[in-house]
Each structure stands twice: as structure tokens, then as C-alpha cells.
Structure 1
Amino acid sequence: MAATLLYAKVLILGSSAVGKTSLCHSFQNDGTHFSKNYNMTIYIDTLVKSVKVPGTKYNVEFLLIDTPSKDCFSEMVHKYYKNVSMFALVYDVTNRKSFEECTRLFKEIKEMKVSSSFDSFHCVLIANKSDLDQERKVSTQEGEALAKELETELFECSDNEMKNVDSPFNYLAGIYCKTYEKSLEYFSTIG
């Protein structure tokens, strides 16, 4: 039986230089290529990647929306908040300010989503650059505490070493499938 294809948009948010672009590219190319030379993202970039969800009949095709930092083009990024239901908040474990920015971004997203036609969204917290343990400024425990506060999951990744890059997206794909199936159940009861 052919897999059912679902489409999902994921907005990737975080401070400058946390590795949003390299994380997206590493995920898209299955870790086969890591570029050492990324320029700062100054516009919205999109990438597509399909994920088979184990134990289901679904493939989720992600449209990854890589955004510039909030310092750049804030109004442009806000336009995307209302058109997606999945978010990845990325911080750099060697940069405490980027970690603190995730709390502000989450509150901003939640306020905008509540005022829009969507009443829920799915989010993951990604602690990038976990390979730089000697330079770490944000502990795993602090990341876990923030994830608990935001009612989401934490994923520590290293796009440089290609470690755990797929995990947050696989998690989102699984959640997306469950949400889709709940919608099908609901609509079948009102028919």
C-alpha cells in the first residue's frame, strides 16, 4: 500500500548564528554535507524534506522555513507566524542570550497564534552546537527545564558532527500524524 503524503510547514526561529541554516541543510541532505561557510541569513529561505513516519502509513513532507534572526526583518518573519502550525526554536549552547531569546520567541508565537484562526501549534526546542561542550554556557538541565516550562521537547544536536539532527523533525512528523488522525476521527463523527 502506498504511503499517504502529508504536508507540514515548520518555521525555524532563533538568534543570529545559532546554526538554523546549517541545521536545516544537514537535515535536508541527510547529513551527507556540512558547509563550513554560511553567510548570515537575511531573507526567508525554504527547503523541502520528506520523512517516513515509522509504524504508520504516512510520509510527512516538510517545508522548512529558515528565517533570519529577529534583529533582521522582524516584520517579514511575523507574516509567517500565522501560516504555520509547527515551530523549531533553536539556540546555541555556547550563547546564553540565544537561549533566553527562545522564551521571548515562544511567548510572541503563542500570542500571535491565539489571536489568529489557529488555537494550537507544535513546537520543539533545539539546543545546537552540543559538540562544543568545553564552551557550553547553557546546561542540558537548563534546556530541559525550559522545554518543560514551554510544554515541549528538547533536542540537543550538533549539525557540525551530524548528531541528532533528524530527531526534532522526526518528533514533529510523529506529532503531526497524530494530529491529522485526530482530525479525521473528529470529522468522521460529524458526517
Structure 2
Amino acid sequence: MASVDRMFKILVIGDTGAGKTAFVHQYVNGQYKAVNKQTVGVAFALKVFQWKDGNTIRLQMWDIAGQERFTAMTRVYYKNAAACVLMFDVTNRQSFQNSLKWKRDLDSKATLTNGDPLPCILLANKCDLSHRALSRPEINQFARENHFLCWAEVSVKENLNVTESMMRLVHSVLKNETDLESSMAVEPANLEIRNEDEKKPGSTFKCCLTT
């Protein structure tokens, strides 16, 4: 059977300084790049890979600026999106609290073609740092109450859970594509994500389902 080439638009949203641009660069290029300037409007990147059924997946990564002055444009940026990554800085409580504003903005302006909300994962970035501004139970409760697909701790700098979290999101996107449902293998409800270095403290994380 001939392979299928699928294209999906993925939004990456959250406050300035959460690490969105570095996340996109790490995921697309496999490299950590410290970002010293703010995204203006929206930036784009393309990730191409082969799914396990032989189909080619192309993800258009839309890195949305986190500054308040760009929120008036989000309806345009969100158009035709298939899924979303909402990122916050786990060392910055305000960044976490503002995630509610971002999620409400997303849900009010973007839906799937059947009217359902976009699948959205919540990522707590900078988990490699010793200082934390909030606890895991607090994040978990927030994710459940606001209907995220799942949440996970990530470190863009250490490349921890970056690809794994995106694969969880892609599973959801493909599940929403009825013409591919019969050919995809659905992951178990709880996707355990492990760092390659199992000896490193805190190297095991779970992408915690909230539904």
C-alpha cells in the first residue's frame, strides 16, 4: 500500500521566556539553542519524520509570540491548527498562572472540524533546574480542571521529554484523523517517558493523562 504524506499545523503557545522557541529548535533540529530575543508575531519551523506505519508526517510548528500585544492576532494564527503545545516555566509561578489565559484564548478561538477543542498538552519546562515555583500535584490538578490531553515535565536544554511529549501529541492528532485510525497503534493510556540516562536523578517522568 502506498505511503500517505500527512501535514499538520501545531501551535506552540505560552508566556515569553517559557522556552517555546528553544523547544521548537530542539525538536526540529535536535540542538539546544539559547534564545536571547523575543519572537515577533509568529515564527515557523517544519519537522518531517516517518511514522511507524510507513506514512510521512510533516508538522508545521507555529511558535506564537508570548507578548500581550500579539494576542489580538491569535485567532488568525490558530486557524486550521490540528493541536497545541502550551508551555510554561516551572520556576516562574506567573508563567504557570498565565497558562489559564492561554488555554481559554485557544479554546475560544480554535476547534477541530467536528467542533471539539484542539488536543493540547501542557509542558512544564526547565525541570532540570533545582528551584521550583510549584508542585507536581498542583500542575496535575490544573491540567485536569482545564482539560489538557496530558502534561509532562520537560527540559529543552537537556533534551528531556521533548520528542516523547510531541509523539504523545501526534498520537492524538492521528487518532482524530478517521482515515488513519485503522492503521495506527494506540499507545497505552499512561505513556511513561524515560531519559536515556536512567542513572540521572529525576530521569523518569510520566505524561499524565488528565481525562
TM-score, length of structure 1 as denominator length: 0.84
The CA deviation string for residues 113-160 of structure 1, in whole angstroms up to 9 with x for no partner, is 36x96612111101111101x211022222222222222200211011
Q: State which of 88, 91, 95 in structure 2 corresponds to 1:91.
A: 88
| C-alpha distance in structure 2 between counterparts of 1:145 and 1:28, whole Å | 30
SS of residue in 1 equivalent to 2:45: strand
- Give how far 1:37 is off: 4.0
Q: State which of 103, 108, 127 in structure 2 corresponds to 1:111.
A: 108
Q: Is the 8 A contact 2:8 2:60 kept in 1?
A: yes
SS of residue in 1 equivalent to 2:33: coil
Q: Is the 8 A contact 1:18 1:98 kept in 2?
A: yes
Supply the AA of the counterpart residue of 2:161.
N
- Give how far 1:11 is off: 0.9
Structure 1 residue runs of 5 or longer lacking an equivalent are 186-191
Structure 2 residue runs of 5 or longer lacking an equivalent are 182-211
Moved over 6 A (4+): none
SS of residue in 1 equivalent to 2:98: helix
The CA deviation string for residues 82-128 of structure 1, in whole angstroms up to 9 with x for no partner, is 331311110000011111111121112112236x9661211110111
| C-alpha distance in structure 2 between counterparts of 1:50 and 1:142, whole Å | 35
| C-alpha distance in structure 2 between counterparts of 1:14 and 1:8, whole Å | 20
Residues 1-191 of structure 1 mapped to structure 2, 5 A cutoff: 3-30=3-30, 33-54=31-52, 56-113=53-110, 119-120=115-116, 121-132=118-129, 134-151=130-147, 152-180=149-177, 182=178
Supply the AA of the counterpart residue of 1:22.
A
Paired-residue identity, %: 27
Structure 1 or 2: larger helix share? 1
**Structural RMSD (CA):** 2.1
- Give how far 1:20 is off: 0.2
Q: Is the 8 A contact 1:13 1:66 kept in 2?
A: yes
- Worse-superposed segment, 99-108 or 8-17: 99-108
Relative to structure 1, the CA distance from residue 177 to residue 40 in structure 2 (aligned partners, 3 Å threshold; closer, same or farther) is same
SS of residue in 2 equivalent to 1:73: helix
Aligned length: 179
| C-alpha distance in structure 1 between counterparts of 2:163 and 2:145, whole Å | 23
SS of residue in 2 equivalent to 1:177: helix
Q: Is the 8 A contact 2:84 2:121 kept in 1?
A: yes
SS of residue in 1 equivalent to 2:151: strand
SS of residue in 2 equivalent to 1:10: strand
Q: Is the 8 A contact 1:147 1:154 kept in 2?
A: yes
Relative to structure 1, the CA distance from residue 3 to residue 144 in structure 2 (aligned partners, 3 Å threshold; closer, same or farther) is farther
| C-alpha distance in structure 2 between counterparts of 1:150 and 1:60, whole Å | 28
